[in-house]
Amino acid sequence: MANFRTHISVAAGIGAAATSYGLYIGLWPLAHAPSLVLLTALGGVMPDIDADKSRSVRLIFTVLAIVAAFIALSIGRAYFSMAVVLCVALGLYVGIRDAVSVIFRLTTRHRASWHSLLASGGISAATAALSYHFFAQGPRLAWIDGGAMCLGMLIHLALDECFSIDLEGARLKRSFGTALKFFDYRRPVATTLMAGAVVALWPWLPPWPYASDMPAARCIKPVAAQSTPSLSADILSVFARQNP
């Protein structure tokens, strides 16, 4: 499989190219472009969160710890003193970076559930939800953030599969097929828990910004336009006729 440098370099390169093209055609503002490149690069190493020891694990949990501390500061300052909020934020940072990462390492297996399309979709949805609720992004940019994360994770899975092909020996390595899969069918319990977590994200997802462009929405609009007047409108019209 590809190493850390390959994963993050390829993901960052593709992310920069995709972000530049989107910027050129006006899909997002210039100020949002750097965060899209960073999200794609982070997604490029995210599936290795289940690795026992790697730079990917340290980077991922450090980023998660920073995000958790930022959320604590954003929410807590409205309810508690700054000293309390800082203590909570520091505790979250240290706890996630040092304690949660150890627990995660002991309870997961490399190239299992986290190397799957299910995990990619779940992490992307969580990214969109965080971007919308805690980083004040609109629905459209929030989903674009989730798409950037998804792109990076798909790049990671594709690279792992490419490195599972032995071109010189013209054969497939034993690791082929363990990365780019829909879900980990060998571990149904872990897969079920992950699927449940993805479903639980549903109420927190930002609204779909293109709902009005869907065929069903276009079919509903003419019907709504031809609907009968409301009861209040009928009452007002009758009152107007009786009192000219």
Looking from the CA of 64 toward its CB, the CA atoms found within 13 Å total 20
User: In 3D, which of 142, 145, 178, 144 has the Cα closest to residue 163?
Assistant: 178
Residue 234 has pLDDT above 70, yes or no: no
Task: List, for residues 98-149, the tens digit of each pLDDT value.
Answer: 898 888 888 777 766 888 899 999 999 999 999 999 888 999 999 999 999 9
Structure tokens at 148: 């950037």
Phi/psi at 195 (5° precision): -65, -40
Average pLDDT, the chain: 80
Predicted local distance difference test score (pLDDT) of residue 115:
83
Q: What is the 3-state secondary structure (H, E, C) of 46-83?
A: HHHHHCCCCHHHHHHHHHHHHHHHHHHHHHHCCCCCHH
Task: List, for residues 190-206, the tens digit of each pLDDT value.
Answer: 889 999 999 999 999 99
Task: List, for residues 37-82, the tens digit of each pLDDT value.
Answer: 999 999 999 988 877 666 778 888 999 999 999 889 888 888 888 8
| Radius of gyration for the alpha carbons in the chain, expressed in angstroms and rounded | 24
- 0.85 exceeded by the pTM? no
Helices assigned H by DSSP within the chain: 4-24, 33-43, 55-76, 82-94, 101-107, 117-133, 139-162, 188-200, 215-225, 231-242
CB atoms within 10 A of CB 19: 23
Q: Are 85 and 76 in contact (CB under 8 A)?
A: yes
Task: State the residue for tokens 């993050």.
Answer: 8
Report d(CA 132, CA 50) in Å as an integer.
27
The strand pairing partners of 165, in sequence order, are: 172
Predicted local distance difference test score (pLDDT) of residue 238:
42
CB atoms within 10 A of CB 48: 24
The strand pairing partners of 166, in sequence order, are: 171
